[in-house]
A = this chain, B = another copy of it.
Amino acid sequence: MNKRLIFITNDDGYQARGLAALIEMMRPYGDIVAVAPKDAQSGMSGALTVKTPVRLRKIKEEPGLSIYACSGTPADCVKLAMNHVFTRKPDLLVSGINHGANTAISVIYSGTLAAAAEGTLYEIPSIGFSLDDHSPAADFTACVLYGRMIIDRALQAPFDKNTFLNVNFPDLPCNEIKGFKLCRQNRGAWVDEFEKRTDPHGFDYYWMTGVFQNHEEEAEDADENVINAGYVAIVPHHLDMTNYRELERLKEIWRFEE
């Protein structure tokens, strides 16, 4: 039997500590091929590079581990690797470990999760991992340990093929993490999102900034609250954005088909 083939990617770039931590987490499970962005690509969502070509460079090759750097976005990394790196379908795709949480509405901006979404489109079981610490020097020790427990579950009892998992770790040492919670995406939004400045020539410019506003601080089953309570949050995501309840309601009240 072939060894398991593991596809690793991220949005912080191939040199990020979070990628090294994910490689460490996954080494016991099989052979690893990492295809990650050349530079950090935070907040790139599912963006694709359509106006310029993309380059791919092999950074490292050793038994059981290859690392490639790609000049494109996280979604580009997955598509390019599936078309021009892998000769057989990987058994698992893991993305991250992101420096910073991807809970609540942040999921729509996340390159980490966009890469996991791409994996699902290629029918690979895919998981995005994030740690609630933005620092480049973040400590991923607990993530490696707790992440393996999730991988073990996923291998024993696979999740649905149209689903990928969004896993967020609280920023806590191993012995302070209270356990795991399967939960849903928290409601909330970002506010005060651009700071205005004036350049030395007198022209205005704006820096992205923002504060997350939690719209349901009491909900125990929502991911942002789950990590704040000291648990690892696991949300099953899918790619069908249809609001079925509203679809049925609008059919009733708009009556286009009469």
**Chain A residues in the interface with B (C-beta under 8 A):** 40, 42-51, 53-56, 73, 75-76, 79-80, 82-84, 105, 107-109, 114, 117, 121-122, 153, 157, 159-160, 162-163, 179-185, 187, 189-190, 192-194, 196-197, 203-208, 210, 234-244, 246-247, 249-251, 253-254, 256-257
Contacts and interface: CB of A to CB of B under 8 A. Distances in A.
Contacts of A48: 43, 45, 109, 208
Nearest to A113: B241
Contacts of A114: 45, 108
Interface centre among A73, A75, A193, A207 (most CB of B within 10 A): A193
Contacts of A240: 184-185, 187
Contacts of A236: 242-243, 246-247, 250
A238 to B, nearest CB: 4
Q: Can you list the 8 inter-chain pairs with the closest CB atoms, starting with the nearest?
A: A45-B46, A238-B243, A45-B45, A43-B48, A53-B205, A180-B256, A47-B47, A236-B246
A159 to B, nearest CB: 6
Given A79-B194, A179-B257, 6 more contacts: A44-B45, A53-B205, A75-B109, A122-B189, A234-B256, A235-B247
A82 B194 CA distance: 9
A109 B47 contact: yes
Given A194-B79, A256-B181, A235 B239 contact: no
Given A47-B47, A196-B84, A237-B241, A250 B105 contact: no
Nearest to A153: B254
A244 B184 contact: yes
A256 B179 contact: yes
B185 A241 contact: yes
A177 to B, nearest CB: 12
Contact of A241 (B40, B107, B183): B107
